[in-house]
Amino acid sequence: MEKLLVWLFYLSSFYAFIPGILTRIFGFRVFRKGSGAHEFALTFDDGPDPVYTPKLLDLLKQYNMKATFFVVGSHAEQHPDIVKRIYDEGHLIGIHNYVHKSNWFMRPVTVRKQIKRTDDVIYAITGERTVYYRPPWGIVNLFDFAKNTGCRIVLWSSMFNDWRSKIGADRLAQRMLAKLRGGEVMLLHDCGTTKGANPDAPGQMLIALERVLQAAQQKGLSSIRIDDMMTKEGKAKAKKLSPFKRFIVSIWLLWEKGFHALFGLKTVTPADPMLHYRKRAFTGKTVMMEDGTRLEKGDEVLELHFDNKKLFQMGSRSRTEMQLAIQMIRAVQKDLPALANMVMDQPEYREVKGLYAVTMISRGPEQFGFHVMDLPPGWFASSTRLYLKLLLSVIHPKGQARFKEGSQMLEPKMLMMPTDVLVDRYAEKKPPKTSPPKEEAQPVLQEQMNDLAAVASATQSI
């Protein structure tokens, strides 16, 4: 029996207590505080509440402040009109589980279901999904700690026991004013129906909050959404690259210039470079693409390369993989029509059979007409894998930490697109013999972006 108790103690510590300590005390793998001088973040848990949340929204609107609402899914389901108002007035909506229950007492699969169910409720009301998550009481288990939920965990830097009405508005305001400064992430509650809370406590919170907002205006401080605070943090970190990383980036970009000169790469849109290309003979094994086009050894192709400087700038601005993927998708989408017109209009490219590229993108390029294939095993695949992983560590928002997450997805892929598909989808004018009616042939770029969120969330690397 004693051994069983010891085993249960170690198991519970590994599953719950140790992750909790690392996140709450050391802030590991969570966001809990910014560093800006003039912005702080108001965050509200447990709502929406039919009485207090509308009053809170009125107050925020009066002082032109933005906030983040971590909603309980069952409450959001009961009050969709309030959730819609939160969204319409420009506030950020995050997840606080479907029911207010500690993650310590739920299995990982149950936590995921709680998160997904709440996300589905939010999406049904607002048409937009969220990746921001605050577990009830800020308590995480081992699988939350490992980001098994797929969300960004947001905690706080200051809390005030505002769920208890006995604290009173005066004392609560004093506590909040003592923490009113740039970078602070304040935890408050707009609903008092949670177990352990007082039903009338949010009323005291609103009185105190108005005093705090008045003081914030006098000090030139403003409350912003958590995602905006994260963006500012990302930009600040990008400007503070270590000397070693700056050295690596400068050498890497210098090497790229030499590579472009050595192989005679050209740029699709020099004014805003994203894609570079060169005409070359295909050297791989015969490939049969989905449209029936055969690409054989010796056939002419256009080999595509991303602009590494542009990728680095995108990575520096991006706080998540999804943001990086969206920026890349839009940039590539912008270049493809110019590339299609060039292939169709310039005689030197008339014999080109298709586009060819090697990248870490595992999903998503199919949306543009590319055929995705595995690289044949061998020296080229191994060396390409090493190079692209080094590239990823420099430009990716998570840097080297990306290697520890889903490393099986970090495999180079070969992308191919037949020239006919490129021209048919993207050229502004069509060849006379193959031109369908204008309304069918004209590429509708917006339609290709309809599934952008799904593509970006599935894109595991650059």
Catalytic positions, written as ranges: 45, 189
Rounded-to-integer distance, Cα 103 and Cα 173, Å: 31
CA 231 to chain centre: 11
Give how far Cα 219 sits from Cα of 122, 186, 224, Å. 35, 17, 15
Locate 354 and state its tokens: 């298709």
Locate 307 and state its tokens: 């602009």
Return the SS3 of 88.
helix
- H/E run at residue 69: strand 67-71
Residue reference for tokens 């992750």 = 19
Rounded-to-integer distance, Cα 325 and Cα 458, Å: 9
- On the CB side of 189, how many CA atoms lie within 13 Å of its CA? 27
Locate 59 and state its tokens: 């107050």
Rounded-to-integer distance, Cα 84 and Cα 88, Å: 6
8 Å CB contact between 226 and 68: yes
- The CB density around residue 434, as the number of other CB atoms within 10 Å, is 10
CA 287 to chain centre: 34
- H/E run at residue 124: helix 108-126
